[in-house]
Amino acid sequence: MQESWPLPSPQVRELIRRASEQAINPDPEWIETLQTAALGGERMAEVAADPLLADGIRHINWTNTMNWVGSNLARPGEPVPVHLSAEITGAVRDLVRRGLDETSLDAFRTAHGVAWRLWMDICFGLTGDVDDLRELLDVSSLSISAFIEDTVDAMNTLMRAERAERARDIASRRGEAIALVLEGAPIPVQRAEAQLGYRLSGQRHLALVVWSTAPGNSADLESVIDDITRGCGRDRPLAMMASASSWWMWLPAAPEPFAPPALDGRPGVRIAAGRSAPGVDGFRESHFQATATQRLMADAASGDRRFARYDEVRLVAMLIGDPAAAQAYLTDTLGDLRDADTELVDTLRTWIRLQCNMSHTAEAMFTHRNTVVRRIARAEALLPRPLDTCMVDLAACLELLSWRR
């Protein structure tokens, strides 16, 4: 901007200097008009209603106006650099702390119109030369517009940086509080609730782990998080980003069984759910159940499962707590059936789950009853012991095997 800035003629530079001399000590009515305009309009109503914020906006507006006037008094017609003083920086941070966004900076663009009219009044009183007046107004208009835009851009950048810093601080404090609660550290419940913005005592919690197995799939992951959040209505859940591809969530007073949002069209997104449980202990227990379910779902052999509840995998999760013992248990109980084709194993598992009813199993497997009878007979022939002597062990091992295939 410096290289292409059109410097005015000497006589116009003198006119700018003289105009700045008048503007540096304005009438109180001039100041009031400028400040009233800055806080006018519907989008500034929230700021205008808060005395602290309104004073901050007035201070920023007046400081910026005097910066422009003072710069033109010292260096008439030259570009006016942005100057974010400590007071301006503090006022901008106050806006962010109150939850306001960049629209609160509209005050400076609104005030620009009033300042320009008042500046024109001064200019018209300084010269009657049409050419000098035209050049004076052209240069002044460019200078004021550039200064306002540069200043608002700088304050926008400051607001974004402050908002990002506050988000990091909040996320950090929230993460620390969650870690302490999960560890069972003696953090007072009231302090933890204040840091989390979430009630721990007096309600039930259902924990989720939501993650994506597809690289760079943050959009689908976040849309699922949003759907779950909306499904909670006024009872806002607690959510924390656990990694670049996974989130931890706690749903307050969630109904059971938890119904996940539609995952069709969101490739790679998975959800693991714990059980609903009350209080701080329930907050912890449900989370550990959800993470245990996630670990089981993340096994490559069962990677096609998109959603699972802890109740569905509880037995398997306990069995695989000792991998070597689980392997031996499978071999001892299933024998050659362990390596049989999936159709045979699934038929036996369904038959046991449906209380050994051949007709119901046929309906569930979409096949004929006689086919089920033949498959059960083939499966029993592969077992190391008669089927009716190991039903409980068989049910457990077939469930475990279904997560290993």
C-alpha distance from residue 18 to each of 63, 76, 141, 151, 174 (Å) = 20, 9, 16, 24, 57
- Considering the four listed CATH numbers 2.30.30, 1.10.10, 3.30.300, 1.10.490, the one that applies to the domain covering 10-166 is 1.10.490
For 239, list phi and psi in degrees, rounded to 5.
-130, 140
Question: Mind listing the pLDDT tens digit for each residue in 183-237?
Answer: 888 888 998 898 898 999 999 999 999 998 887 778 888 999 999 998 888 888 9
**Closest by alpha carbon to 91, among 151, 149, 168?**
151
Token pair in block for residue 185 = 């550290």
Indicate the pairing of strand 204-212 with strand 269-273: antiparallel
Question: Mind listing the pLDDT tens digit for each residue in 361-396?
Answer: 899 999 999 999 999 999 989 999 888 888 888 888
Give the helix ranges, DSSP H, for 270-390: 279-297, 310-319, 323-334, 342-353, 358-365, 369-382
When pLDDT is cut at 50, 70 and 90, the band that residue 263 belongs to is confident
Report whether pLDDT(301) > 60: no
When pLDDT is cut at 50, 70 and 90, the band that residue 284 belongs to is very high
- Considering the four listed CATH numbers 1.10.630.10, 3.30.200.20, 1.10.10.2840, 3.65.10.10, the one that applies to the domain covering 320-404 is 1.10.10.2840
Question: Mind listing the pLDDT tens digit for each residue in 150-190?
Answer: 888 888 888 888 878 777 777 778 888 888 899 888 888 99
CA 393 from chain center: how many Å? 45
pLDDT of the residue at 366: 93
Question: Mind listing the pLDDT tens digit for each residue in 4-52?
Answer: 777 899 999 999 999 999 988 888 888 888 778 777 766 677 777 777 7
Site of tokens 């290993």: 404
When pLDDT is cut at 50, 70 and 90, the band that residue 1 belongs to is very low
pLDDT of the residue at 368: 93
Query: What residue spans define the domains of the chain?
Result: 10-166, 198-317, 320-404
pLDDT of the residue at 140: 92
State mean pLDDT over 233-260: 85
Between residues 320 and 184, the one the model is more confident about: 184
pTM reported for the whole predicted model: 0.54
For the chain, give percent helix, strand, coil, nearest 5.
65, 10, 25
Report whether pLDDT(117) > 80: yes
pLDDT of the residue at 128: 86
CA 39 from chain center: how many Å? 32
**CA separation for the pair 213, 190 (Å, rounded):** 36
Is residue 112 classed as helix, strand or coil in its secondary structure?
helix
Question: Mind listing the pLDDT tens digit for each residue in 58-101?
Answer: 888 888 888 999 999 999 999 999 888 887 888 777 777 766 66
C-alpha distance from residue 119 to each of 55, 152, 325 (Å) = 24, 20, 87
Between residues 360 and 388, the one the model is more confident about: 360
